[in-house]
Structure 1
Amino acid sequence: MTQPATAAQQEAPTSAAKSAGEQESSRRPGLRWDVRTLSLLGVLAVLVAVGGITAPDQFLATSNLQLVLTQASVIGVVTVGMTFVITSGGIDLSVGAMVALASVWATTVATQEFGFAGILFTAVIVGVGCGLVNGLLIAYGRMVPFIATLAMLASARGLALQITDGSTQVVTVPSVLDLGARDAYILGIPPLVLIFAAVTVIGWLLLNRTTFGRRTVAVGGNAEAARLAGIDVRRQRLYLYLLSGLCCGIAAFMLIVLSGSGQNTNGNLYELDAIAAAIIGGTLLSGGRGTIIGSVLGVLVFTTITNIFALNNLETAVQQIAKGAIIVAAVLVQRRSMRGGDA
């Protein structure tokens, strides 16, 4: 005689189905990220082809490709820090102003007397200091990130203008200037590109292979659930804005090497470029999901577009329109992906 199924036996198929569903859902995000990365690589390949067709002698020249990578390196380092902040559900509108403040503070006459180390240390410590203020206001002062970083944007720009009095501060330290010279290239690769590559690798490892990265994603996905799971949400947010400030300090030093000067206009609109690059790379503006590789590809796409437009003597307004269209398209793709995942 057939025995009636026990409660455990009845629940077993349901549990198995849930487990299979969870495994399938866990595979879907990875698939979407692979598709998005390949799509960005495809866009980049198309842009390279367009540049090669419209300005073959100029665009494909080794010197121009080195220039594109060098220009991408500065904003790329800022974007790595921005990716962490956005992944956590925050935003940092002050990155451009922090780069400006760090660059002018590091190029004052008093700072340059300490040579290479003095300029590097000052740029980094000013960036970290600004990030600390942002982090304290947001994490412990409970200010909305948009407001806190907007206030930092205005304050840092104002202080940078006061330090320079509207003038350009020329760097006179040979070791700093030599870092940007062609003689300093390693196997044809500019040192700034190598710095960018190192920051990218460290950022990828930090986000994908450490507890810090998992906590960042958890806070961005659901801060309250992260808190109940034992994560110190406020401390994590403080660390993230410190990281953003650190990246801005490094970028400021790179910009000093690249331009040989410090100006209060440095880093203009970097916040928009960094946010845009992170978004088209696949980082969710609402938080909970981020990708360093995607952000780097986003930076390369924008930098390549700018370079192609410049070589073809197109107006800056057209460049901005193109960037805006790309951002809108990326957000629409994100929303469609999220709806598909929810289904």
Structure 2
Amino acid sequence: MSATPTADAPRPTADLPDPAPPAGPTGHGAVAHGATRAGRLSWWRGDAGEGARRNLGLIGVLVVLIVIGIATRPDLYGDSRWVWENVLTILKLASVVGVVTVGMTFVIIGGGIDLSVGAIVALAGVWATTLATQSFGAGGMIFTALTVGLAVGLVNGVLISYGRLVPFIATLAMLVAARGLAAEISDKQTQVSNNTTINDIAAAKLLGIPLLVYILAIVVAAGWVLLNRTTFGRRTVAVGGNPEAARLAGINVKRHTVLLYALSGLCCGIAAIMLTAQATSAQAAMANLYELDAIAAAIIGGTLLSGGRGTIVGSLLGVIIFSTITNLFAINGLSTEAQNMVKGGIIVAAVLIQQFQFGSLTRFLGRNRPTAAKV
């Protein structure tokens, strides 16, 4: 039985203001800080932070490769001047394939594939080094290489978008046709570049860094901006993720696909000039298997083969990893066959990680996450 309140009993204090929260680490500041920290952890653990986690993992792989190099060749890595020159060598080795990989990354994110990039590089390089083209000087050679790459990329895009050919078949056919045309133009001979301006691109340095590395950096920066800060990039992700939904949202999927392959061809044209400068010549067999290196680098960098997701920075790290592996095998005198086997294993591992990371593993962790006991 409850007692009835009397006149002397204290009045309820519901109409009085709440006492001020204690100052210091237990006040509102701590709550806000805790919420911010929880939000950051949620971002890091969620899909939004997947790119950052993968890039950090790729940097970890590079560190492991460097440690292996130090352990196997301490005599070389003990020389700081050699280390700096070796870093520049790796970046220079990665420059041409890196430019091709930027274009390939856009194509794969858009839901396609381009097996003809190596052949396009060869065709653009051969066409740019004919005697007729070289008579127009360095400007004519560069213009020819870029135009040929862009034109072949447009043909690929038109065949796939409006001819409704499967990207694999269309670009495979272009691979054969472009190599054949390059052999026909060059008469199966190596064409020497006599233009000193073009040849100096490979030898020139700015602030001690090769010009080829600057070209790679410019292409990567432009690709990053295009993918992450423009409507074109958002449409690329949309088309690769769900073409039908993109079409219903008002995106011209066919035209956009043509533009993606044209962009890939343009990157091949740039790479053709860079490779021609390195070799001071061009031939139909140049840039052999570049398509596999570009696809592998994009996959290692986190680009989904099914489309809809990928990063330019990740692809660049993938290229650098493969170049580092090549360099590591070279300084240790190991065979190319062993190097290719290691690369193949890395590609398989990367695809398996992509397949299970967001599917089976996520569901497994969800099923096995401890839950609070019900009262």
For residues 208-261 of structure 1, the C-alpha deviation after alignment (integer angstroms, 9 at most, x for no partner) is 111100000001110001000110000110000000000000000110111111
* 1:35 aligns to 2:57 (yes or no): no
One of 216, 232, 235 as aligned partner of 1:215: 235
- Deviation of the 1:56 alpha carbon: 4.1
Q: In the superposition, relative to structure 1, how do residues 55 and 168 fare at CA in structure 2: closer, same or farther (>3 Å)?
A: farther
The separation in 1 between residues aligned to 2:91 and 2:59, in whole angstroms, is 15
Residue of structure 2 in register with 1:320 after alignment: 340
One of 308, 312, 325 as aligned partner of 1:292: 312
* 1:264 aligns to 2:260 (yes or no): no
Residue 233 of structure 1 aligns with an amino acid whose one-letter code is V
Higher relative contact order by CA 8 Å / sep ≥ 6: 1 or 2? 1
The separation in 2 between residues aligned to 1:165 and 1:149, in whole angstroms, is 24
Point out the more displaced range, 146-155 or 42-51: 42-51
Residue of structure 1 in register with 2:201 after alignment: 179
For residues 42-87 of structure 1, the C-alpha deviation after alignment (integer angstroms, 9 at most, x for no partner) is 0011112222332345564333322211110000000000000000
The separation in 1 between residues aligned to 2:169 and 2:239, in whole angstroms, is 20
Residue of structure 2 in register with 1:277 after alignment: 297
The separation in 2 between residues aligned to 1:27 and 1:132, in whole angstroms, is 40
Query: 2:129 aligns to what SS in structure 1?
Result: coil
Point out the more displaced range, 131-140 or 309-318: 309-318
One of 121, 126, 129 as aligned partner of 2:151: 129
The separation in 2 between residues aligned to 1:167 and 1:316, in whole angstroms, is 26
One of 257, 260, 270 as aligned partner of 1:237: 257
The separation in 2 between residues aligned to 1:179 and 1:220, in whole angstroms, is 36
CA contact (8 A) 2:54 2:302 kept: yes
One of 88, 107, 115 as aligned partner of 1:93: 115
- Deviation of the 1:287 alpha carbon: 0.4
CA contact (8 A) 2:150 2:263 kept: yes
One of 124, 129, 137 as aligned partner of 1:107: 129
One of 69, 90, 99 as aligned partner of 1:77: 99
For 1:326-337, list aligned pairs within 5 A: 326-337=346-357
Residue of structure 2 in register with 1:19 after alignment: none
For the pair shown, the structure with the greater C-alpha radius of gyration is 2
The separation in 2 between residues aligned to 1:57 and 1:170, in whole angstroms, is 38
The separation in 1 between residues aligned to 2:362 and 2:227, in whole angstroms, is 22
CA contact (8 A) 2:44 2:53 kept: no
Residue of structure 1 in register with 2:175 after alignment: 153
Residue of structure 1 in register with 2:39 after alignment: none
The answer to which structure has the higher helix fraction is 1
For residues 7-66 of structure 1, the C-alpha deviation after alignment (integer angstroms, 9 at most, x for no partner) is xxxxxxxxxxxxxxxxx7997222221111100000011112222332345564333322
The separation in 1 between residues aligned to 2:328 and 2:86, in whole angstroms, is 10
- Deviation of the 1:187 alpha carbon: 1.0
CA contact (8 A) 2:133 2:144 kept: yes
Q: In the superposition, relative to structure 1, how do residues 27 and 46 fare at CA in structure 2: closer, same or farther (>3 Å)?
A: closer
Point out the more displaced range, 71-80 or 257-266: 257-266
CA contact (8 A) 2:241 2:308 kept: yes
Query: 1:230 aligns to what SS in structure 2?
Result: coil
One of 311, 325, 350 as aligned partner of 1:305: 325
Residue 261 of structure 1 aligns with an amino acid whose one-letter code is S
Q: In the superposition, relative to structure 1, how do residues 109 and 220 fare at CA in structure 2: closer, same or farther (>3 Å)?
A: same
- Deviation of the 1:338 alpha carbon: 2.4
Residue of structure 2 in register with 1:48 after alignment: 66
The separation in 1 between residues aligned to 2:76 and 2:287, in whole angstroms, is 26
- Given the two structures, how large is their TM-score scaled by the length of structure 1? 0.89
- Given the two structures, how large is their TM-score scaled by the length of structure 2? 0.82
Q: Which stretches in structure 2 are left out of the alignment for 5+ residues?
A: 1-41, 367-375
The separation in 2 between residues aligned to 1:213 and 1:65, in whole angstroms, is 31
Q: How many residues align?
A: 318
The separation in 2 between residues aligned to 1:147 and 1:253, in whole angstroms, is 27
Q: CA RMSD in A?
A: 1.6
Identical residues among aligned pairs (%): 62
